[in-house]
């Protein structure tokens, strides 16, 4: 991202990043180049695709990005749980022949009048995990289950929330959990602001956001501020999406150049290595090398540097075909024919919202075998 100053004005120039941040009273939103790309690519996003920063950001209504907050909350709950949950000592009325606390004469006499002369009633202080912090954590974990009914959270997040719910079952209080969400949200905010431990404070702030069914989506905000902001690299996300869709479309083996880089020069094997975004291996077509570019294809021509890089990668992997993938509003294909080394090269423009259909067309044009559904 570039920042330039001129005549008292600030100009921000973004690249492949999408996100938002708050600078004082100014809310900054970085939107995607291709409209709808973020929502379409979220299905292919893993947790590490997002960079979550401890910086203020405006909240909005619940949306697809609430899955990030759920992951952050679950991560905080796991850290809090493994470091030792809070507990307190509470008086519990007990009865038995062996006394372990303060005797209650009134209740002991009542037991004797009922014929239990060998039993005494007494009050014993026992450790309990039913603290306000733990009860609010349990309330937020239960709310995750409700959020999953209208927002896709992922099986891993649901499995974690359910297992943590079982662990926090010892602090279940029916009268507390039956409170409305507005009350629980306020309680979580109040306890978070007064708690001295940062981990617990952050965890409860996230709990209040989930209980309020809020997120940090693009668009209109509701005036409330949360202490988190996010950025995501759509270029890396687009590359991952193309790889995933191609792997489930064709029967060919799919890989990344970073896992198997090849030397470009025979005598210098360590300094210069080819690591393309996609390596497709099939018995009938041989090796096919591809690069994914998150930028608009100018007309029908790719940049010379992109083509040179692709052909070097293809030569290093001894591929007979190579291709570039660009995002766009409609599907397009251009074949450049073969270069001097006999490498057949393709340009593909695919619709981010229709990746399955467009990647299937690209696979057919490159003579890759398709999976039978």
pLDDT at 63 over 70: no
Residue 324 β-bridge partners? 291, 347
Q: Which domains does the chain have, with CATH numbers?
A: 88-128 (no CATH), 235-365 (3.40.1350)
Which tens digit of pLDDT belongs to each residue from 235-265? 888 888 899 899 989 999 988 888 888 888 8
Q: Please say whether the beta carbons of 236 and 277 come within 8 A.
A: no
Q: What's the CA gap between 217 and 136, in Å, rounded?
A: 24
Mean pLDDT of the chain: 82
Q: What's the CA gap between 212 and 19, in Å, rounded?
A: 22
Q: Which two tokens stand for residue 98?
A: 């062996």
User: Is residue 53 very low, low, confident or very high in pLDDT (cuts 50, 70, 90)?
Assistant: low
Average pLDDT estimate for 185-213: 85
Q: Which two tokens stand for residue 273?
A: 């290595």
Q: Which two tokens stand for residue 1?
A: 């991202």
Which tens digit of pLDDT belongs to each residue from 337-373? 999 889 999 999 999 888 999 999 999 999 999 887 6
- Cα dihedral sign for 162, 164, 170, 173? negative
Residue 307 β-bridge partners? none
> Residue 293 belongs to what H/E stretch?
none
């Amino acid at each position: 991202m570039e920042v330039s100053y001129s005549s008292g004005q600030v100009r921000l120039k973004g690249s492949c990043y999408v996100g938002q941040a708050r600078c004082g009273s100014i809310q900054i939103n970085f939107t995607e180049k291709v409209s709808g790309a973020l929502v379409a690519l979220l299905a292919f996003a893993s947790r590490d695709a997002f960079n979550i920063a401890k910086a203020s950001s405006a909240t909005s209504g619940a949306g697809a990005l609430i899955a990030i907050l759920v992951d952050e909350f679950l991560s905080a709950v796991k850290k809090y749980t493994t470091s030792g949950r809070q507990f307190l000592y509470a008086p519990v009325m007990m009865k038995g022949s062996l006394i372990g606390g303060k005797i209650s004469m009134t209740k002991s006499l009542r037991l004797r009048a009922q014929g239990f002369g060998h039993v005494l009633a007494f009050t014993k202080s026992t450790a309990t995990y039913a603290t306000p912090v733990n009860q609010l954590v349990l309330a937020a974990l239960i709310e995750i289950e409700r959020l999953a009914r209208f927002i896709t959270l992922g099986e891993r997040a649901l499995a974690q929330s359910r297992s943590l719910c079982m662990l926090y079952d010892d602090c279940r209080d029916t009268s507390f959990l039956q409170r409305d969400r507005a009350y629980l949200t306020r309680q979580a905010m109040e306890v978070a602001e007064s708690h001295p431990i940062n981990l617990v404070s952050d965890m409860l702030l996230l709990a209040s956001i989930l209980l309020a069914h809020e997120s940090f989506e693009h668009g209109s905000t509701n005036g409330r501020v949360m202490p988190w902001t996010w950025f995501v690299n759509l270029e890396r996300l687009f590359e991952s999406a193309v790889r995933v869709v191609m792997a489930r479309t064709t029967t060919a083996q799919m890989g990344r150049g970073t896992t198997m880089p090849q030397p470009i020069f025979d005598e210098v094997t360590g300094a210069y290595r080819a690591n393309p975004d996609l390596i497709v291996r099939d018995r009938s077509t041989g090796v096919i090398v591809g690069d994914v570019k998150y930028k608009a294809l100018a007309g029908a021509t790719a940049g010379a540097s992109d083509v040179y890089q692709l052909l070097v990668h293809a030569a290093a992997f001894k591929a007979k075909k190579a291709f570039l993938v660009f995002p766009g509003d409609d599907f397009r294909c251009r074949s450049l024919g073969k270069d001097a080394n006999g490498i057949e090269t393709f340009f593909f423009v695919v619709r981010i919202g229709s990746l399955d259909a467009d990647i299937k067309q690209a696979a057919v044009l490159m003579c890759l075998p398709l999976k039978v559904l």
